[in-house]
Chains A and B, each alone.
Chain A
Amino acid sequence: MNSEIDADWAWAPFNPAPDRPWDRRLAAHLFRRAGFGATWEQLTEAVSSSPSEVVDRLLNVAEPPDYRKQTAALTDAAVAVGNVQQLSAWWCHRMLTTPAQLLEKTTLFWHGHFATSAAKVPEIRLMLAQNELLRRFAFGDFGQLLLEVSRDPAMLMFLDSATNRKAHPNENYAREIMELFCLGEGNYTENDIRELARSFTGWEIRRDKFRFNSFQHDSGTKTILGQTGEFGGEDGVRIVLQQQSAPEFLIGRLIRFFVFDEPVPSKALVAPLAAELRDSGMQIRPVLKRILSSNLFYSEHAVGRKVRSPVELAIGFLRCLEGSTNSFELSEQMNVLGQGLFFPPSVKGWDGGRTWINSSTLLGRSNLIRHLLEHDKTRFGRKSLAEYLNGAQLTSAESIINRLQTLLFAVPVPMAAREQIADLIDGPGDRNRSLAEGLHALCTLPEFQLC
């Protein structure tokens, strides 16, 4: 399909038009992708500004000092207990509550990109330090982020580079930095891997900190991706980053995360953004701004063309309705659905797209919504669901479905479904129970799996 997309049109700024107005529907799309979702009030506020202004706000909103203090206290507690589930719950809570949604979403992107699993890194302090690193550089200089990650203790432990000796270089990190972090398969040779691994010898972890051990470094001449010299690890990272495929690879990943799952973006579509990324010295912020303000992003090529990840599904459902719940249970349930925070399934991260979906996860996604709706810790704006909707003057089934359609659905709810779900909402007996049944049915619709 996207061979037909004209790249100049695609990345030009989106200007609302009568057939594509900047309304709550499109604003909700922006918030679902550049965050987790928006409340009705946030949408109302967004449509009184231009799309570009809203993207700027998303890129620049800062967490208030009190919020940072509160979230730091939670991580301190998790580290003190040494419980990685608690750290997972903390991140889940952060995604639910932070005012800086895009920063958090981009941090999640990097977690999937530089996937490191606590299953192999038991020191949760190191997992937390990596998470903070990813957040600190989320919108920044990719080259610097890559170098920091290459020396990050959690990463080195995860990819067995914590002891990387001259006599027996460990090839794991050298392979993954090219295959998964920077260039993509096919853009290097097995020999490049062996030579790059030699440049990383002597990089090790001592007392949970990175250290260069010159006695274990192979200082001989190496040839990496066509360049020859007595390279060290920093040179290795720099050479990898200099490859033409590096910005192209990264843009491909960003498009897939923020714009659409399918198809694989064409070279022509990637090229203008890859050039911009390279020319800016691999700065992420400007390229993100361009993607999120583009014609393509607000077009039918993008809206409803991603499968919700478990995080997008659960956090999105709650955030749109000002929801809060038990973050421990929620993070465990997202784990069961295939997206354990701090537990990506492999160094390749989450494949996303259709791979989120199978019979088990579909039943599990539906059951998760049911569980949230029935859980006594789940509140909507600190109220029960019935009180919350009443407070928003939403009493008829039709008004409730309309509201939920705007907040939660990128793809329209079919007419037949609206009628059946209205019957469930207007069902006999307890109001909260009927509402829960109606919402559960709504969120079991195939349409709800897309965003």
Chain B
Amino acid sequence: MTNTSRRRFLGGMAGGAAILTFGTQAPGFLQAAVHSGRSDSGRSEKILVVIELGGGNDGLNTIVPFTDDDYRKHRPKLALAANEVLKISDSHGFHPSLKGFAELLQNHQLSIVQGVGYDNPNRSHFESMDIWHTCQRKEENRSDGWLGRSLEQRGTSAGPDPAGLHLGGEKQPFALMSHRVRVPSIRSVEQFRLNGTDSQRFRDAVKELADARRSPDNDLLSFVQSSTSSAISASERIEAAGKSYKAAVPYPETDTGAKLETVAKLISSGLGTSVYYLQLDGFDTHSQQPDAHAGLLRQLGDALSAFVKDLTAQGHSDRVLTMCFSEFGRRVAENASEGTDHGTAGPVFLAGSQVKPGLIGKHPSLSDLTDGDLRHHTDFRQVYATVLEQWMGCDSQPILKGTYNPVEALALKN
């Protein structure tokens, strides 16, 4: 099948993305990966790691306005006291479980953009998450996400490697979807391989059959075919890439810790991937919030702190930026179940050695509420614009489908 038909198919796609998607043609690329002549050129590329806090993180108990009377009034059971929080300033402090974030801040490696949200907030998890992922509302017929669009715009920078990677067993995040670039999802490097390929005959047959073009009448079939083809080639690349790394610091034995360790491993191995995406779920704390929230924040802070330390030790910290966001914050007033319901604005975190450390923007007011919810003052697309323009070197306007002023959250050294 058809080398001709395959060539015809590739010819019909935008060149770079096609090679990426069907990246099995380059002969001997496995050796190239191991010896990594490319890793030098790859090393200059900036890398973005996105951590999605799923369920709606309670921003108010994450960055705590501990001197605010309204805070204690709205949160008779859930308010954190001045002597519990880890102080950022005279009026604001981290949740006591965020020791990792406090440490990052001390090392000038954490920027906290406060009061981030969007107009006419939607309080459905799914809809609000989709808005953050696509920068579009439901009625706009969404088909791709902001990171996917940025990968399309950047074209071939990853070489034969996947342009982006999603770590986790969840369904693929909408943010990474695009029309031309397929982003693999991997649970772990070890699980990301095809069994049976020790048989040469089997391996050859499966690869060739997956690469062969199918009739275009069935969109789903074309989609599955290109996905199968890129899955098989990505698994070969990643298996080869992960072999030479050893973590410089111990990672916490949590899901997020393990995922960030995998990211560090792939970065250190010279993989050309420029966007990594992972999720930490469970922030939908409608009831019995204190223990659950504390556990999640501890998991996040400890893992991110280890990750940044490891990257610093491996010499990659200047080219890796991590961003943490959630689809919304929570209602200011607590509910009767020692929990909080869906709200609006919340903080976004940027971590790495090239951030402007500290609090950016004001904490949203607790006396000026809309329907019992915080009012945002920074649109989430302003944070995206910062990352796209200043970090990834993209033109943010077509990606965000509008012009958004960046926030002053990065302090680039080079």
Q: Which A residues contact B (CB, under 8 angstroms)?
A: 159-160, 163-165, 167-172, 175, 179, 185-186, 190, 261-262, 304-307, 336, 338, 345-346, 348, 351, 354-364, 366-367, 370-371, 411, 414, 416-417, 420-421, 423-424, 427, 437, 440-441, 444-447, 449-450
Contacts and interface: CB of A to CB of B under 8 A. Distances in A.
B335 interface: yes
Interface of B: 1-2, 123-127, 138, 162, 166, 169-172, 182-187, 191-196, 199, 201-202, 205-206, 208-210, 212, 214, 218-221, 223-225, 227-228, 230-232, 234-235, 286-287, 334-337, 339, 341-342, 371
B399 to A, nearest CB: 22
Contacts of B2: 416
B221 A450 contact: yes
B124 A361 contact: no
Contact of A449 (B1, B172, B224, B335): B224
* Among B183, B219, B287, B335: residue with most chain A CB under 10 A: B335
A414 B205 contact: no
Contacts of B170: 338, 345
A367 B172 contact: no
Contacts of B234: 359
Given A346-B125, A360-B185, A370-B196, A445 B335 contact: no
Given A175-B124, A416-B212, A450 B138 contact: no
Given A336-B187, A358-B185, A362-B227, A440 B235 contact: no
Contacts of A172: 286, 341
A179 B124 contact: yes
Contacts of A366: 194-195, 206
A170 B339 CA distance: 9
Given A358-B166, A359-B227, A363-B235, A447 B212 contact: no
Given A304-B218, A360-B185, A160 B337 contact: yes
Contacts of B162: 359
B202 A171 contact: no
17 contacts: A163-B337, A170-B335, A170-B337, A170-B339, A175-B124, A190-B371, A262-B220, A304-B221, A359-B234, A360-B191, A360-B192, A363-B191, A367-B195, A414-B209, A416-B209, A446-B214, A446-B224
B287 A170 contact: yes
A261 B223 CA distance: 13
Given A338-B171, A358-B171, A421-B205, A170 B185 contact: no
Contacts of A185: 124, 126-127, 138
Given A420-B209, A424-B202, A163 B231 contact: no
Nearest to A190: B123
A357 B287 contact: no
Nearest to A420: B205
A424 B286 contact: no
B192 A186 contact: no
Nearest to B210: A446
A306 B339 CA distance: 40
Nearest to B186: A360
Contact of B336 (A167, A346, A414, A423): A167
Given A304-B221, A363-B235, A444-B210, A355 B171 contact: yes
A169 B193 CA distance: 49
Contacts of B184: 358-360
* Among A165, A172, A336, A351: residue with most chain B CB under 10 A: A172
B208 A420 contact: yes
Contacts of B127: 185
A161 B126 CA distance: 20
A338 B169 CA distance: 7
Given A416-B212, A450-B224, A360 B169 contact: yes
A355 B336 CA distance: 36
B210 A170 contact: no
Contacts of A445: 209-210
A427 B171 CA distance: 37
A179 B315 CA distance: 48
A447 B205 contact: no
Given A168-B335, A358-B172, A420-B209, A363 B224 contact: no
B333 to A, nearest CB: 8
Given A363-B191, A427-B201, A446-B224, 17 more contacts: A172-B286, A190-B371, A262-B219, A304-B218, A305-B218, A358-B171, A358-B183, A358-B227, A362-B231, A363-B194, A364-B191, A411-B218, A417-B212, A437-B199, A444-B209, A446-B221, A449-B228
Contact of B171 (A164, A171, A345): A345
Contacts of A190: 123, 371
Contacts of A179: 124, 126
B185 A359 contact: yes
Contacts of B341: 170-172
Nearest to A367: B195
Contacts of A170: 286-287, 335-337, 339, 341
Nearest to B166: A358
B228 A362 contact: yes
CB-based closest 4 A-B pairs: A168-B336, A359-B184, A359-B231, A358-B185
Given A345-B170, A358-B227, A367-B194, A168 B185 contact: no
A399 B339 CA distance: 62
Contacts of A160: 286-287, 337, 339
A354 B223 contact: yes
A356 B212 CA distance: 22
A441 B124 CA distance: 42
B171 A351 contact: yes
A421 B187 CA distance: 29
Contacts of A175: 123-124, 342
A303 to B, nearest CB: 10
B281 to A, nearest CB: 8
B366 to A, nearest CB: 18
Nearest to B130: A185
A440 B198 CA distance: 14
Contacts of B209: 414, 416-417, 420, 441, 444-445
A417 B191 CA distance: 26
A394 to B, nearest CB: 21
B192 A363 contact: yes
A359 B192 contact: yes
B220 A305 contact: yes
Contacts of A262: 219-220
B172 A414 contact: no
B328 to A, nearest CB: 13
A307 B224 contact: yes
Contacts of A261: 220
* Among B172, B191, B214, B228: residue with most chain A CB under 10 A: B228
Given A354-B220, A437-B199, A440-B196, A359 B336 contact: no
A168 B337 contact: yes
B14 to A, nearest CB: 20
B224 A424 contact: no
Contacts of B183: 358
* Among A338, A359, A445: residue with most chain B CB under 10 A: A359
B220 A307 contact: yes
Given A358-B227, A360-B192, A367-B195, A424 B339 contact: no
Contacts of B1: 414, 416
Given A351-B171, A441-B209, A446-B214, A359 B230 contact: yes
Nearest to B209: A417
B5 to A, nearest CB: 10
A416 B210 CA distance: 11
A389 B123 CA distance: 55
Contacts of B199: 437
* Among B127, B182, B334, B336: residue with most chain A CB under 10 A: B336
